[in-house]
Amino acid sequence: MNKQIRPIITTYFIHSITYFLLLLFCYAALSKALDYEHFQIQLAQSPLLSAYAGLIAPTIIGLELIIVLLLCIPTFRIIGLYASFSLMIGFTVYIYMILYYSDFIPCSCGGILEKLSWTEHLVFNILVSICTLVAVILQVKRKSIPYIKFGIYTLLPSLSMVAILLMLFLTSEHLIATTHSFIRRFPPHPIQKDRVYKLPANSYYLAGSTQQSLYLGNTSTPLVLSQLDSSFTIMHSQLWHPDTLSLPFRSLRFQVQAPYVYSYDGTVPILFRGHLSDTTLHTLSYREAYFSQLAILDSIHFAVRTQHGTTQQYVLGTLHPKKDTPVKLYDHLLQKQVDGLFDSDGLLLSDPDLGQFLYRYHYRNPLLVMDANLHLLRTLHTIDTISQVQLSVHHFRDGRHQLKTPPLRVNQAAAVHKGILFNQSNLKGRYEDHSMWQRAFIIDCYRTDDQYYIGSFYLPNPDQLHLQQLIVADPYLYVLIGNQVFRYRLAPSIRQHFQQGKPKT
């Protein structure tokens, strides 16, 4: 090549790459800054950067603007090229780790590269990094910069960038899963809408499920149990017959725990049991324990939530029908913070596959995991930061309690299945789109064998109705909203956390 033409081509190449990088980083920084909230949300969904989104967002924008400034000034242009190469190496390594080492791949980034897939984005970054390195080498030759200095200025920042990314990769997942940073993660496509059935009234509730059917009770006709077939097209209703009808029933409800059907009313109090192949309900327990909630593991293990006869505070207890001491209360499980009643309100759940009971508070974040005899196994927490209830209670002289103001409700509906808690949260996490909360429910998923947050997903709520209940029966999630039952298929990313059954104690 002509010696006179070669310097021209070199200069032209260096200038072209410099201007390209200048435009690329300028556009990237400005687009992030102008839509800063959305940029933070994107970082919060990254499997590598979630826990550090608040710090990394302004850092990246600042670095890109500094590089733009360096590239604009001829004296510092070589430094700008060094910095551009190191930052592009960081972006390239980040995308590579997302593709090959992440548990899930988030949605592609926005801006000028919005239409590129992650793989295409990786190829783009590699090409830009190579071109930038060639421009640096040509500039080094032109300015006769020692190669030792060239090696230091390219290798050290690049290796530092890779080391930082590795540190973030190793620590971010742990922080999100085990601490209370309240940053939610939304794996792509965790559920898929499968079926919907419109009920004739809004007085139905979910009573249980099997592999073939979903069972529903009806508060208007408390002795009728309905069965919705697996195709979600045919609902069959059956009248059940208790062995006694002379009692003052007030809130008779069904629970299906195959192969049995249970019917109960804690205000009487009474507990019936029947078989799914029959329509007769036999008295299993009568006047042994008044209760406001009942959870069933099997035909001999029951847990109740009731009020202590002396303190009137909520307590948990076991119910063993027909035994000499059928009821045993454990008043140490629910911790009093204000009055022991409103502050201890929550939801009692059972996980028959693991032989465990759970109690999840409404107004604070602890989750109690107990064995079949209500021995506390562990206390976990939801990812929000509300460990202390935020409510004010007025105490009357006659012993009655009344809320002075509406309390901050942390949790709503919930279901547990094979060691995973599906919890409807009432609180918006950091970096979340406020508009989504107006048209969807948020469901957080947790493992119950350890303090581990799996991820979250949205349930559409276009009519802004109330979510009454959740039931999980692998591979489905059933949701009752208004007078409609929705069936969603759970993705493998959720189902892989289901645990195998353990011997019941």
Contact 227/206 with Cβ under 8 angstroms?
no
**What letter would DSSP give residue 84?**
H
Contact 105/126 with Cβ under 8 angstroms?
no
With the C-alpha atoms ordered 142, 146, 149, 150, is the resulting torsion angle positive or negative?
positive
DSSP H or E stretch at residue 227: strand 224-229
Cα distance between residue 349 and residue 313, in whole Å: 19
Strands in 213-218's sheet, in edge-to-edge order, are 204-209, 213-218, 224-229, 235-239
Mutual orientation of helices 5-34 and 53-72 as an angle, nearest 10°?
A: 150
Cα distance between residue 436 and residue 458, in whole Å: 8
146 Cα distance to chain centroid: 53
The residues spanned by each domain of the chain are 5-178, 191-495
Q: Please tell me the predicted confidence (pLDDT) of residue 139.
A: 84
Mutual orientation of helices 77-101 and 53-72 as an angle, nearest 10°?
A: 150
Positions of the chain with pLDDT under 70: 1-6, 45, 47-48, 50-51, 102-115, 172-181, 394-401, 404-405, 501-505
Name the pTM for this structure: 0.76
Strands in 376-381's sheet, in edge-to-edge order, are 346-351, 356-361, 366-370, 376-381
Q: Please tell me the predicted confidence (pLDDT) of residue 180.
A: 52
Cα distance between residue 340 and residue 310, in whole Å: 12
Cα distance between residue 271 and residue 502, in whole Å: 27
**What letter would DSSP give residue 333?**
S
Q: Please tell me the predicted confidence (pLDDT) of residue 412.
A: 94
Exposure of 6 in the CB half-sphere (CA atoms within 13 A): 6
Cα distance between residue 252 and residue 242, in whole Å: 11
Q: In a 3-state reduction of DSSP, which class is residue 20? A: helix
Query: DSSP states of 299-315 as a string?
Result: SS-EEEEEE-TTT--EE
Q: In a 3-state reduction of DSSP, which class is residue 94? A: helix
Tens of pLDDT, residues 164-209: 888 877 776 666 555 556 888 888 889 999 999 999 999 999 999 9
Contact 433/41 with Cβ under 8 angstroms?
yes
- Interior CA angle at 77 toward 75 and 83, to 5°? 135
Tens of pLDDT, residues 412-451: 999 999 999 999 998 888 777 777 777 899 999 999 999 9
Q: Please tell me the predicted confidence (pLDDT) of residue 462.
A: 77
Cα distance between residue 72 and residue 237, in whole Å: 76
Contact 368/379 with Cβ under 8 angstroms?
yes
Q: Please tell me the predicted confidence (pLDDT) of residue 295.
A: 97
> Please, which residues bridge with residue 471 across strands?
478
Per the listing, tokens 């590795």 go with: 166
β 241-242/235-239 pair status:
unpaired
Cα distance between residue 461 and residue 153, in whole Å: 54
Class of residue 113 by CB neighbours under 10 A (exposed 0-12, middle 13-18, buried 19+): middle
CATH topology of domain 191-495: Neuraminidase (2.120.10)
Q: Return the closest-CA partner of residue 97 out of 197, 166, 6, 160.
A: 166
Per the listing, tokens 């839509």 go with: 35
Contact 448/421 with Cβ under 8 angstroms?
yes
Q: Return the closest-CA partner of residue 128 out of 219, 17, 283, 268.
A: 17
